[in-house]
Amino acid sequence: MRRLRRSGAGRSAALHAGVPLVSMMLAATVCGVPAARARAVHPVAGSATSAPAAAVASCADTVYSGMTQAQRIGQLFMGGVSASSPSATDLGTLRDQHVGSVMLTGRSSAGVTATRDVVDGIRGQADTVSGRRVGLLVATDQEGGQVQVLSGPGFSTMPNALTQGGWSTSTLRSRAAGWAGELRSAGVDLNLAPVADVVPADLGTRNQPIGRYYREYGHTPDVVASHSKAFAVGSERAGVMTTLKHFPGLGRVIGNTDTTANVVDSVTTTTSSYLTPFRSGIQAGSPFVMVSLATYSKIDSHHIAAFSPTVVRKLLRTQLGFKGVVISDDLGQAVAVRSYTPAQRATGFLAAGGDLILTVKPSIVPAMAQAVGSRMQTDAAFRSGVADSVHRVLAAKAAAGLLDCG
C-alpha cells in the first residue's frame, strides 16, 4: 500500500536482540484447552517479548476462549485513522465493531510525544475480556522518503529505500533500530514495512507503485533480500514488528493498485527469483506479510492476489512456509477493489487464507464484519479458517506484550 496521502504500553521491557527470528509451531494442548479443540499457534518471531513460545500460545487461547463472536470478528480488522487528529466518528465505528488493530494514516508532523498522546487515547477504547484489556495493535507506514507518516520532533527524516539500499546491511540494521525506537516511543507496535518488491533497473520509475517513489532497496533480488531483512531485523530488535510487502511483488507492474484497476503482472511465477526477498524474510521469521491487489496471470489469472487461495494458501503458506499473520493491502479505498462490495472484499480475503483485513476507510467495517459473521453461520470451512486467523492475530499481540494473561 502506498501512503502518499496519508504505546507500546504493556509491552515487555525485555527484548532478545541476539535471538534469531525463528517461527515455532506449538503443541495442541495449552492452557487447559482440550487437544481436539486447541490450535497450533505460531508466535510472532523476533517481536519484543521475553515470554516463551508456549506461554504466547496459551495466552492467545485464553483470550480467544473468553471472547464473544463479535469480539473475535473484530480482531480480523485493522482500521485507518488520522495520525494527527483521529475523527470521533471513525473511532466510534472501530470501537463499536470491536476492531482490534489501528493504522495511523495521512501525515503528522506533531512529533513523538504528541503522537504518543494520540495513540494512548486510541488504546483507551480497546475491548476487555474477563476484565482484562485486549491491547490494540497500532501500525503505520514508516518506510522513508515519500512514505513516512510520522515526522516532527523526535522522528528522524528517513531517506528513501533506494538510498537505504546503498548502505551496508550493518549500517541499515543500526539505522532501522533507531527509527524503530522512535516508533516505539510513539506507541507504535507494527511498521507496515519493509518493501520487498524488486523493480528491474530497466523498468525503474515507470513502475508506478514502487519505482516512481524509490521505494525499492535495489534492482536485484539479492540486494532487496539482504536490505529488507536488515531493516526488519533492526526494527524488531528495537521492539517494533515489521511487514514484508507486497506479496508476491509489485516490482514488475506498471499501474498502481491504489489508483488503477486491473493491474496485472504477467511475468512472475511461483519459482521466480523475484520471490527471493519474501522467501528470505519468511525464513528469518518475519511476523507479517502483506498481500498485493494485483493479478499474477502466471500464478492465478482468475483472482487478484489478496483473493487468491493459490497465492495465499498454496504459494505463501505451503510453498514458502509462512506461519505468521497475512495482512491485506488496503481493501477500503484502493481502486483495484472498487468493483467488489465491502462484503466481497472481506470474505474473499479470509476465504483465500488471509488473516487481517486492512481498510483505511473505517466506515465500511460494519458491512464487512456483518458479512463475515453471516458466512460463518453457513460455511464450516470458512468458520474454521476465521478461528485460525483470530488465533494468529492474538498470538502476534501476545508476543508483542499486548495481551494481559498474567
Distance of CA 385 to the CA centre of its chain: 18
Per-residue pLDDT tens digits for 285-311 = 999 999 999 999 999 999 999 999 999
Q: Does residue 214 sit within a domain?
A: yes
Residue 202, domain member (yes or no): yes
Residue 211 pLDDT greater than 50, yes or no: yes
Check whether 15 has a pLDDT greater than 70. no
Q: How is 162-192 classified by DSSP, letter by letter?
A: HHHTTS-HHHHHHHHHHHHHHHHHTT--EE-
> The cell 528517513 sits on which residue?
158
Is the residue at 51 inside a domain?
no
**DSSP per-residue letters across 253-305:** -SS-TTT-SS-EESS--TT-GGGHHHHHHHHTT-SEEEEPSSEETTTEEEEEG
Flag whether pLDDT at 123 surpasses 50. Answer: yes
For the chain, what is the domain count?
Answer: 1
Place of cell 507518516: 149
Answer yes or no: is 132 within a domain: no
92 lies in some domain: yes
Question: Binning pLDDT at 50, 70 and 90, where does residue 1 land?
Answer: low
Q: How far apart are CA 124 and CA 105, in angstroms?
A: 19
pLDDT value at 32 more than 80: no
Would you say residue 8 has pLDDT above 70? Answer: no
Is 274 domain-assigned? Answer: yes
**Domain span at residue 369?**
76-126+137-377
In whole angstroms, what is the distance from residue 361 CA to residue 331 CA? Answer: 8
CA distance 24 to 263: 35
How far apart CA 286 and CA 288 sit, in angstroms, is 6
Q: What is the C-alpha separation between 17 and 2, in angstroms, rounded?
A: 30
Which has the higher per-residue pLDDT, 384 or 39?
Answer: 384
Q: Please check whether residue 242 lies inside any domain of the structure.
A: yes
- Mean pLDDT over residues 178-187, rounded? 98
Q: What is the CATH number of the domain that holds 153?
A: 3.20.20.300
pLDDT at position 55: 86
pLDDT in tens, 246-261: 999 999 999 999 999 9
Q: Cα–Cα distance between 235 and 224 in angstroms, integer?
A: 16
Residue 249 three-state SS: coil
Residue 249 lies inside a defined structural domain of this protein: yes
357-386 pLDDT, tens digit each: 999 999 999 999 999 999 999 999 999 999
84: enclosing H helix or E strand? none
